[in-house]
Amino acid sequence: MFVLLAVEFATWGGILVGMLDALVIGVTGLIDIVVGFVSPGLAQIVTDFQAGVVGMLRSVGGTLGELPTLFSREVIPNQGHQTPNGAWQGTFLGLQPAVAWALRFSLIMAYALFTAYWAFRGWLVYRDHYRESDWTPTDDIVNNLRGHRWGQFGIIVLVVFLTMATFGSALAPSTVSQNIQSPYSDESQIQYLTEEGTVETVFAGDANFDSKSKGAVDTNVGVMTYDDYGRFHPFGTLPNGRDLFTFMMGGARITMIVSGMAITGAAVVAMTLSMLSAYYSGSLDLGILTVADGVVSVPQLLLLIMMSAVFANTWLGAVLDGGFLLALIFAFTTWPFLWRAVRGPALQVAQEDWVRAAESYGQRPRNIMQKHMLPYVLGYLLVYASMSVGGIIISLSALSFLGNGLGISPPTPAWGRAISAGQSYVSSPSWHISLIPGLMIVLLVTGMNALGDGIRDAIDPEVETGDGEEAAAGGGA
């Protein structure tokens, strides 16, 4: 496992540093607003702390970006130009760009799948030989899930899309910076063979201008084709000439980060409140129920549009290009549904004999909830969280589809924006612009629902029988 992580240390480290950077900006910014009403001097201290930590993190990120990785674009390059004699120069081993890209793509996917499998094997070794407990409720869920093909399909889909989010820059034939965000920078220059047989240099932005997919046969760069500049496009190009595959990989990163932050925040709040309401019940349970009803009464779409408009030009709207704000709103509007879903199982577990026995031995309520209640409720939370994240992904794409300042701010790629850009060309040769992003959204949401179905069946293997259905319905009440 050490070797697997070491060969892509810069990639894993860069992802971690980037998420810490966004988290520090978001959390310290919220603290700055709160303490600013009390003490402007204290708010300035928070601002200085934020600047120092962010500067350090970005310095570390820059250092990590200079480190080599095993499957980087520099090791297996796919961008080059053809020579007058027909050979390719600048690509890996002189291969065609399509072949070099397919090789790098296949190696990265194989690496990611094997790393995920090896991490699971490591957990099995830890469980069998090093863990203090001989058995936990998670063991039964994992054992049942290992024979659930539909749930395994969801796991594979999740791993693939996480790989896209993590290794998107290396998976794509180009980079988001070169092809989308800064196509006229010095690093975005490309070489190509002209019709006269000479090798010329051009900016990626100029090449994009001549590689647009606008619906006509003569203005279209379709799936698995080259443009006039020798660049290979696995998914074709957008109406502005940008590479759709690169756009989709960039969109996968921001989608997985935002949806992951949102569902994690909602799940933490829901689980914490469900433990408290189930253990103490009474007035506390009624109070949480009242707050949850109040949050549910607010239309999510209206709140998203309103908050996006209010914070569009503030620091909060700039973190993750608006993604951090959206994650906060999604978490705020999603936790009541998760809390309602796990409240029933939590109430059932709170009445079990082992919980009462732990109380009689004088254990603290926090230890009882953490050790004796949480493991039995966690499976239900995973079921509803995996199914709820699909709605977050669809809502995030819908906001980007609507545009007008909603969703992820351009030029950061967003799947919904690609669908919107190609809706006029669905029945034309440029059908790929809307269809491919739409299919990827469907695949991801279906995979998450499949994972939720698998976990649900793993919790109750007899779910298809009458007794199992009744138990599942009662547990999710």
Among 117-121, 281-285, 470-474, the range scoring the smallest mean pLDDT is: 470-474
- Which of these, 285, 277, 298, lies nearest to 377 by C-alpha position? 277
> For the chain, what is the mean pLDDT?
89
Question: What is residue 90's three-state secondary structure?
Answer: coil
Tell me the C-alpha distance between 258 and 320, whole Å. 9
Tell me the C-alpha distance between 34 and 51, whole Å. 18
Percent of the chain clearing pLDDT 90 (strictly above): 64
- Which of these, 261, 303, 289, 281, lies nearest to 392 by C-alpha position? 261
Question: What is residue 224's three-state secondary structure?
Answer: coil
Measured CA to CA in angstroms, residue 183 lies from 89, 122, 241, 312, 410 at distances of 22, 43, 11, 25, 14
Other Cβ atoms closer than 10 A to 275: 23
Q: Which two tokens stand for residue 355?
A: 């919980």
For residue 440, the model assigns a pLDDT of 96
Question: What is residue 81's three-state secondary structure?
Answer: strand
For residue 470, the model assigns a pLDDT of 38
Residue predicted with more confidence, 226 or 301: 226
Inter-residue contact 224 to 98 (CB < 8 Å): yes
Q: pTM of the predicted model, to two decimals?
A: 0.90
| Residue 233 β-bridge partners | 225
For residue 461, the model assigns a pLDDT of 61
28 pLDDT higher than 90: no
